[in-house]
Amino acid sequence: MKKIFIFASIFLLLFSYLTFIIIDGLHILKPVGPVGVDKCHLHPNVPDNFEGPEDLVKFQDLIIISATNHLKLYEVKSFGPSKVQGHLFVLYPNETIAQITLENYRGNLTSFRPFSLNIFGSSLYVLNEDYDGGNDRMEVFELSRTSNGDLRVKFAYFLTFEENFLGMFNNFVLLDKNEFFITTWMVWPDPPFGRSDSRNLWQNLHKYYNFFFKIQRTYVYYCIGQDNTDVVCIRIKNSESVMNNGIAFDKPNNLVYVGKTLERKVTVYNYRENEKPENALDFYKDIELPCLPDNLNFDQEKQRIIIGCLGRNIDYIRLIQSANEYQGKIPEEKEFWFGVVSLEKSKAELLWMDNKMFRGAAGGVRRGNTVYIGSFCENKLMMCEF
DSSP annotation string for 143-166: EEE-TTS-EEEEEEEEEEESS--T
H or E element at residue 9? helix 2-26
- Which residues have C-beta within 8 Å of that of residue 184, sequence separation ≥ 6? 165, 168, 169, 170, 218, 219, 220, 221, 244
How many domains is the chain built from? 2
CA 214 to chain centre: 19
6 lies in the same domain as 147: no
Question: Which residue type occupies 41?
Answer: H
Burial of 70 (0-12, 13-18, 19+ CB in 10 A): buried
Element (H, E) at 315: helix 313-325
Indicate if 225 and 307 belong to the same structural domain. yes
Distance CA 338, CA 17 (A): 28
DSSP state of 100: P
pLDDT at 213: 65
| Same domain as 115, residue 8 | no
Which tens digits make up the pLDDT trace of 328-338? 888 999 999 99
Exposed, middle or buried by CB within 10 Å (0-12, 13-18, 19+), for 203?
middle
In this structure, the answer to whether residues 66 and 6 fall within a common structural domain is: no
The low-confidence residues of the chain, meaning pLDDT below 70, are: 1-31, 196-214
247-261 burial: b if 16+ Cβ within 10 Å, else e:
bbbbeeeebbbbbbb
Measured CA to CA in angstroms, residue 356 lies from 122, 173, 177, 338, 378 at distances of 38, 32, 41, 9, 12
In angstroms, the CA 236 to CA 280 distance is 7
* Other residues' Cβ atoms within 10 Å of the Cβ of residue 11: 10
142 and 276 share one domain: yes
Q: How many CA atoms lie within 13 A of 85 on its CB side?
A: 6
Whether 23 and 154 map to the same domain: the answer is no
Asked if 82 and 162 sit in the same domain, the reply is yes
Among the listed residues 308, 321, 301, the one whose alpha carbon sits nearest the alpha carbon of residue 250:
301
> Of the candidates 224, 221, 240, which has an alpha carbon nearest to the alpha carbon of residue 232?
224
pLDDT given at position 32: 74
The residue type of 222 is Y
- According to the model, what pLDDT value does residue 217 have? 87
Residues 259 and 346 grouped into a single domain: yes
- Per-residue H/E/C for 240-272: CECCEEEEEEEHHHCEEEEEECCCCEEEEEEEC
* Residues 334, 196 within the same domain: yes
Residues 97 and 177 grouped into a single domain: yes
What is the structure's pLDDT at 188?
A: 85
The three-class DSSP label of residue 111 is helix
- pTM metric for this prediction: 0.91
Domain holding 18, by residue range, is 1-30
CATH number of the CATH domain containing 110: 2.120.10.30
d(CA 82, CA 78): 10
Same domain, 374 and 280: yes
Q: Are residues 164 and 281 in the same domain?
A: yes
